[in-house]
Structure 1
Amino acid sequence: MGGFFSSQPAYAAEDGVSAVIAIHSAGEWTQNWESHSQTNKLMVIDFSASWCGPCRFVEPAFKAMATQYSDAVFVKINVDEIPEVSKQWKVQAMPTFVLVKGGQEVGRIVGAKKDELERRIQEQINT
């Protein structure tokens, strides 16, 4: 398990750029979704808001997981920027993490439950 206690920040990718894809528009989401939904690669969507304390608390762990589990795609959506996508996924609380494979939801974690999120990601990657 990498990095929570190491001297290097685990959430920084090798080139210093986050491994999390930040989506800022419905068009960006649609393009990303269309290219991903046909694959069996795990997508982890973080629905959050800048004003949400628990969202800010779990963000470093989410970034660390994005770096650690490079065989999954990690996406961050600000519910205030693109509320139509949040509504489409029936997000009612933040943070909400939705795990998707093959275009289908395979898991959902509501709240800043980083241990549960990591366990569910590991389960999906190993299946």
Structure 2
Amino acid sequence: MMANNHHYSEYYERSSWLLPPEKPSRGVIPFHSKARWKAHFDASKESGKLMVIDFTATWCGPCRLLEPTLNEFAAKYTDVEFVKIDVDELPDVANEFGVEAMPSFQLTKKGKLVDKVVGVKKEELQKKIEKHRAE
């Protein structure tokens, strides 16, 4: 028995590169509660930081397609805040922002809409992020 345990620990040590990092990279912050979202959004009005709001749904194929890109942007643009709102979980929030199609990205600063991108438009989203984060 002892020999087998030794082999298992050796295996896990050698394959540790398969495990996720201990500290997850800064990423997209999901909101599941309207109260939590409202408190966060109200606090963002005091900051000059650009916020990218990803309005999504679990059943939306194009939204899932863009998820890795959004995670890349969140890792690259650490001075920008990326948040995700599921329109089925928080329909009132989606209505407040006038979301009609998905994926829909709304860029806000100090609580005000500065730009938006609707659809799978990675390059357009990146250009708008770069433009508004610098302002």
| TM-score interval for Structure 1 and Structure 2 normalised by the shorter chain | 0.7 to 0.9
RMSD: 1.6
In structure 2, relative to structure 1, the CA distance for the partners of 1:76 and 1:58 (3 Å cut) is: same
Match of residue 89 from structure 1: 97
Greater shift in the superposed pair: 14-23 or 110-119? 14-23
Match of residue 85 from structure 2: 77
Query: What CA distance in whole angstroms lies between the structure 2 residues aligned with 1:73 and 1:13?
Result: 21
Match of residue 40 from structure 1: 48
CA apart distance, 1:17: 4.6
In structure 2, relative to structure 1, the CA distance for the partners of 1:13 and 1:55 (3 Å cut) is: farther
CA apart distance, 1:14: 8.2
1:84-107: per-residue Cα shift (whole Å, max 9, x none)? 000000000011000001111000
Q: Once superposed, which parts of structure 1, at least 4 consecutive aligned residues long, lie more than 4 Å away?
A: none
CA apart distance, 1:18: 4.8
**Percent identical:** 43
Query: What CA distance in whole angstroms lies between the structure 2 residues aligned with 1:123 and 1:32?
Result: 23
TM-score with structure 1 setting the length: 0.86
Match of residue 104 from structure 1: 112
Q: Are the counterparts in 1 of residues 25 and 75 from structure 2 also a CA contact under 8 Å?
A: no
1:1-127 aligned at under 5 Å gives the runs 15-127=23-135
SS, match of residue 71 in structure 1: coil
1:40-72: per-residue Cα shift (whole Å, max 9, x none)? 100000000010010001110001101110001
CA apart distance, 1:114: 1.0
The letter of the residue matching 2:100 is Q
Higher normalized helix content (fraction of residues): 2
The letter of the residue matching 1:124 is H
SS, match of residue 54 in structure 1: helix
The letter of the residue matching 2:99 is V
Aligned length: 116
Q: Which runs of 5+ in 1 are unaligned?
A: 1-11
Q: Are the counterparts in 2 of residues 13 and 67 from structure 1 also a CA contact under 8 Å?
A: no
SS, match of residue 91 in structure 1: coil
Query: What CA distance in whole angstroms lies between the structure 2 residues aligned with 1:119 and 1:14?
Result: 32
